[in-house]
Amino acid sequence: MDISLEINGNHEELDVDPGVTLLDALRERLGVTGPKKGCDRGQCGACTVHVGGRPVLSCLTLAATVREPVTTVEGLSVEGEALHPVQQAFADCDALQCGFCTPGQVMSAVAAVEQDVDDVREFMSGNLCRCSAYPNIVAAIEQAAERTRSTADARV
């Protein structure tokens, strides 16, 4: 079937099998390899992307059902090469080791910061890290949240 997707601001037309997941469409058809295929069954969070601004597991989402814009880790930077504040916080806090889980962690972390969640650990519980970088990931999210609040306060 013919589908159209908006990926990181780019309009894409694809001819796909109805059973193709968003993750496979991104990685195998469009060369968008930030989202990772970890478990491929919705248990690890490495494939997390945003659809319509909300984090979703792209391995459990059929490409043909996607109607809203998709953002992957490649599309987070808003100004050219500049890192998104959450990406910068991950770098500042050494919030990764092997890095395989990091694109998914970052996408969930962006949602955590945007929603100003109270319980970061609970919110992030769907994103597993086999290197156990959890303390630094939480520290990065807290840093990004704090900087986002400070920026918002400065604008008031």
Contact set with ligand FES (CB under 6 A): 96-102, 129-131, 133
For the bound state, the minimum distance from the C-beta of residue 27 to ligand FES, rounded and expressed in Å, comes to 18
CB-nearer residue toward ligand FES: 36 or 63: 36
CB-nearer residue toward ligand FES: 88 or 97: 97
What are the tokens at 133? 């970088």
Query: How buried is 92 (Cβ within 10 angstroms: 0-12 exposed, 13-18 middle, 19+ buried)?
Result: middle
For the bound state, the minimum distance from the C-beta of residue 16 to ligand FES, rounded and expressed in Å, comes to 29
Residue 50 pairs in a beta bridge with 55, 71
CB-nearer residue toward ligand FES: 42 or 69: 42
DSSP assignment string, 35-46? S--SSSSSSS-T
Phi, psi of 105 (to 5 degrees): -60, -45
Q: Is the dihedral of CA 135, 138, 143, 144 positive or negative?
A: positive
For the bound state, the minimum distance from the C-beta of residue 69 to ligand FES, rounded and expressed in Å, comes to 27
For the bound state, the minimum distance from the C-beta of residue 86 to ligand FES, rounded and expressed in Å, comes to 15
CB-nearer residue toward ligand FES: 99 or 135: 99
